[in-house]
Structure 1
Amino acid sequence: MPILDSPQHPKCFKPLYKHATCGSTHQANHIHSSLASLLLHFKYHILPHSQTSPSIWHCCTNTMDRVTKMVSERAVVIFSKSSCCMSHTIKTLFCDFGVNPAVHELDEIPRGRDIEQALSRLGCSPSVPAVFIGGELVGGANEVMSLHLNRSLIPMLKKAGALWV
């Protein structure tokens, strides 16, 4: 039984996210995820080796499982904060392209702070906005804007199934 479905975690049955709609009605047909490698990286390379108590691993694995589940929802997933101007800019950019991302406002969801810390451990600095395309971490606002300026973002979105045109 996955940790998220465990009766020990009743909070997991509550909605964990908010979807932002950008007027696009299509859903991605195929979402592939490479978060298993990120989870292994998180478990074995990012956490200090002195922290080996089962409760610490359970807590961290639960958070990473939650992030993995959230990232697999759509072709484009954005972790954001409602008060962050850079997050707003990135959400607007994707909506202007006609992409319908799953947007998770970390300041409005349960365990948002834990998710923000997990994103920081994955290399997101600052932790928001954090953009995943096709299940893979792209990065924050700087990385997304760089991809956009060098004309790599649109092909990446098409490959992930977020754009049809």
Structure 2
Amino acid sequence: CMGSSVSQSTEQDMTGTQTRVQAYIRSSCVVMFSKKSCPYCVYAKKLFKELDQPVTIVDLLEQPDGKKMQEFLGNMTGANTVPRVFINGECIGGYTDAKKLHDQGKLRELLKKCNNK
């Protein structure tokens, strides 16, 4: 592992974090920033599993800059709670938002766009 183990929240650190978050969001059609300990994250994973939709899970507790990633997601999406779900690069919100879209029949429509890429 290169670099110093002592980390201060500098602008440069935040730029690295920002780049990593954006790379994750671009890496696959459905990306969920989550924490193992969060019940709503479990519900969201279950919802996508029921829809047979593969999801890239980024567990913030396992990321060395997880706190900064969550802070950046908060600034980017207007909420720093988890899960933060992205479909095709767009934040759809958290579990309740995903569930509401599913109940309205709109979640499958968004996911169809994934398979057409």
The alignment's TM-score, normalised by the length of structure 1, stands at 0.61
CA contact (8 A) 2:32 2:83 kept: yes
Q: After TM superposition, give the deviation of residue 124 of structure 1 in Å.
A: 4.7
Q: Kindly tell me: are residues 60 and 126 of structure 1, through their superposed partners in 2, closer, same or farther at Cα, counting changes over 3 Å? A: closer
Partner residue in 2 for 1:136:
90
1:116 to 70, 87, 97: 70
Partner residue in 1 for 2:27:
73
Task: Tell me the number of residue pairs that the alignment of Structure 1 and Structure 2 aligns.
Answer: 110
The alignment's TM-score, normalised by the length of structure 2, stands at 0.84
Q: Secondary structure at the match of 1:122?
A: helix
Q: After TM superposition, give the deviation of residue 74 of structure 1 in Å.
A: 1.0
Q: Secondary structure at the match of 2:36?
A: coil
Q: After TM superposition, give the deviation of residue 96 of structure 1 in Å.
A: 1.1
Post-superposition Cα deviations, 1:6-47, rounded to whole Å, max 9, x if no partner, equal xxx947xxxxxxxxxxxxxxxxxxxxxxxxxxxxxxxxxxxx
CA contact (8 A) 1:63 1:114 kept: yes
Partner residue in 2 for 1:92:
46
CA contact (8 A) 2:32 2:86 kept: yes
State how far apart, in whole Å, the 2-side matches of 1:124 and 1:116 are. Answer: 11
Is 2:102 the counterpart of 1:148? yes
Q: Which amino acid aligns with 1:59?
A: D
Partner residue in 2 for 1:16:
none
2:15 to 47, 50, 61: 61
Post-superposition Cα deviations, 1:45-66, rounded to whole Å, max 9, x if no partner, equal xxxxxxxxxx52x232221111
Q: Which amino acid aligns with 1:91?
A: K
- Give 1 or 2: higher strand fraction: 2
Partner residue in 1 for 2:36:
82
- Structure 2 gaps of 5+ residues are 4-9
CA contact (8 A) 2:25 2:89 kept: yes
Q: Which amino acid aligns with 1:65?
A: T
Look at both structures and tell me which one has the larger radius of gyration over its CA atoms: 1
The percent identity for this pair of structures is 31
Q: Kindly tell me: are residues 72 and 147 of structure 1, through their superposed partners in 2, closer, same or farther at Cα, counting changes over 3 Å? A: same
State how far apart, in whole Å, the 2-side matches of 1:101 and 1:65 are. Answer: 20
